[in-house]
Amino acid sequence: MGGDAKTGREVRKRQLPSGRHGLSREYVAANQRERILDAVALHASRSGYWGMSLDSIAAASGTSRRTFYTLFESKEAAFLTLCDVTAEQMLATVYAAYDSSEPLAERGFHCMAAIIGFLCEYPDRANVIFVQVLTAGPAAVTRRDLALQHLADLVERAVSDGGERDLPPSTTAEAVVGGLYQIIYGRILNDRVSELRDLMPEMLFMLLMPYIGHRAAATARARATEVLSAAPPS
């Protein structure tokens, strides 16, 4: 409860001053929208999709029901918007880390570090896109599936850019991403998202092994362990 209250206060810190402030209507609406989405992430991750209420969202965001309904048609609409925004942010972070000029193992390491860094930085949104999305109905699950497909497509692109030969079937990328998803899902579900950083070398091995073989993937795993051990704690 104390953590929820503290996080709710952090969301409300971005509340704009009342009265005349000279800000445009568009800026005010964008600020309210972002605060509402942060409040949805907070309460969905704490209480579950079905447990959060409009009153709790309004209280955490410093808005009103009337303001909520000027921006979103329903609780579901706000939740789905949050899923879309979070998936876009997560994928943009991964794409920004991708460098086709690097060896495949290096690309895998940097992309995996990017996605895990994002999840650890935004644990509430990570909970929404990996866990709560499964409880909110077919439209939400479709968004989860689309995000996973984008990641599988990136794996396929990375392998293609690397010019690897004698590759496994294209469905391998979907299987690898699905397996990594289950590891991430389990840690987020049990509020252990911080463990993902320590698991990254093993996850990198899982990602690379079907494409570069056991020995090369093990070398990449050892290198990842070395790099992470030398990095300052986050």
Residues constituting the chain: 234
CA–CA dist 207, 67 (Å, integer) = 45
- Banded model confidence at residue 29, pLDDT cuts 50, 70, 90: confident
Contact 111, 165 (CB under 8 A): no
Q: What's the confidence (pLDDT) of residue 1?
A: 41
CA–CA dist 10, 182 (Å, integer) = 31
| Short-list 153, 112, 109, 140, CA closest to 40 | 140
User: At residue 221, does pLDDT exceed 70?
Assistant: yes
Find the mean pLDDT for residues 70-90.
94
Exposure of 74 by Cβ count < 10 A (0-12 exposed, 13-18 middle, 19+ buried)? exposed
From first CA to last CA, the distance across the chain in angstroms is 25
pTM of the model: 0.83
Pick the range with the lowest mean pLDDT from 6-15, 84-93, 141-150, 222-231. Answer: 6-15
User: At residue 168, does pLDDT exceed 80?
Assistant: yes
Report pLDDT digits (tens) over 174-217.
999 999 999 999 999 999 999 999 999 999 999 999 999 999 99
Q: What's the confidence (pLDDT) of residue 161?
A: 78
User: At residue 21, does pLDDT exceed 60?
Assistant: no
The residue ranges of every structural domain in the chain are 2-72, 77-230
Query: What CATH number labels 77-230?
Result: 1.10.357
- Banded model confidence at residue 15, pLDDT cuts 50, 70, 90: low
Handedness of CA 56, 62, 65, 67 (dihedral sign): negative
Q: What's the confidence (pLDDT) of residue 159?
A: 86
